[in-house]
Amino acid sequence: MTTQTAPAPDATITPQAQAGQMLQLVAGHMGVRTVETGLASGLVAALAAAPGSTADELAETLGLDDFYVAVWARGAFAAGVLERDGDGFRLAPHLDTLLLDTTSPAYVGGLFPLVLQPEIFDRFAANLATGERMWWDETSPDWIAGVGQTGRPFYTRLVPGGLAQIPGLVERLEAGVRVVDTACGAGAGVVRLATTYPASEVVGVDGDAHSIDRASKLVAEAGLSDRVELVTSPLEDFVLDEPATVVINNISMHECRDIDRVAERVKAALEPGGWFVISDFPFPDTDEGLQSVPGRVMSGIQVFEAQIDDQLLPRAAYDDLLARHGFTDIGHVSITPMHAVTWGRRPA
């Protein structure tokens, strides 16, 4: 057996430098809490509507304490969320879009309240000794809603832009086909698919009954009940009454209890030549990638994923999955550093 020796510590790294690294982590936590407070209180939205507002003006508009608002504004300025504007403040460039516009593919505002939910670090820390697992039906309605909010930009980027990069697919969708959105959650994806491709029929499948109830209300509010069908079923067991041309899974394939069984069910549900599209986080498979900002965020997501007994997967794992189950014309595209799309076709 070969014994490997760990590299010697880098003597050029000083305690002061390491302290700076640790303080960056603390500053990041402070920034998250500052943004979340600004979103929850309406301060961010108020500044988007009235740039240049002073702390006193914001406090009066929102019915908040003027001293507390001044403290929040100073902290938000320190975090780079606000800029000075005369005697008042304005949001830093593009933050109105990034933090408030849920229709934007760049929207990240939903992450700030989500990462503070107890389902991530609080529950993980409480069960660190026991390793107790859970499933989605044991999470809170706030968690389900928050996940739906953060998943929305993935659908926004995927439909239609990501799908347009898959050869031959958009023409079929525009002509009218049957589309299945697996792990559809609270329904943002099925609504987006049905409105973007009005000639197509959409089926949403999810194993969580609460999510399907939320999706049903969203579909009804959008006036799409005549073209959208919703099914409560684990993905390992779902069966369609007629074949689909496209099956999509958005940021949930890594959570399947039996990923190979799901791939089998998807292949069985597709018509010959049909597409299986997997939109997911591309978890880094190198140490350098793991220490990047996207890698650090995805490592935090892993804390929740561990509690439902899974982990994010490297993007190439989906190439292997599709090839293993006989899919052809396998391809992929990177949409952002935290969003990749992989696809394959059932042989004709």
Q: Which domains does the chain have, with CATH numbers?
A: 15-108 (1.10.10.10), 133-345 (3.40.50.150)
Predicted confidence pLDDT, tens digits, the chain (348 residues): 455 566 666 778 899 999 999 999 999 999 999 999 999 999 999 999 999 999 999 999 999 999 999 999 999 999 999 999 999 999 999 999 999 999 999 999 999 999 999 999 999 999 999 999 998 889 999 998 899 889 889 999 999 999 999 999 999 999 999 999 999 988 999 999 999 999 999 999 999 898 999 999 999 999 999 999 999 999 999 999 999 999 999 999 999 989 999 999 999 999 999 999 999 999 999 999 999 999 999 999 999 999 999 999 999 999 999 999 999 999 999 999 999 999 999 999
pTM of the model: 0.90
Residue 151 has a pLDDT of 87
Angle between helices 55-62 and 66-78 (to 10 degrees): 120
HEC string for the chain: CCCCCCCCCCCCCCHHHHHHHHHHHHHHHHHHHHHHHHHHHCHHHHHHHCCCECHHHHHHHHCCCHHHHHHHHHHHHHCCCEEEECCEEEECCCHHHHHHCCCCCCCCCCHHHHCCCCCCHHHHHHCCCCCCCCCHHHCCHHHHHHHHHHHHHHHHHHHHHHHHHCCCHHHHHHHCCEEEEECCCCCHHHHHHHHHCCCCEEEEEECCHHHHHHHHHHHHHCCCCCCEEEEECCCCCCCCCCCEEEEEEECCHHHCCCHHHHHHHHHHHEEEEEEEEEEECCCCCCHHHHCCHHHHHHHHHHHHHHHCCCCCCCCHHHHHHHHHCCCEEEEEEEEECCEEEEEEECCC
Residue 1 has a pLDDT of 46
Q: Do 210 and 144 form a contact (C-beta atoms < 8 A)?
A: yes
Burial class (CB in 10 A: 0-12, 13-18, 19+), 31: middle
Residue 3 has a pLDDT of 57
Amino acid residing at 86: G
Residue 136 has a pLDDT of 87
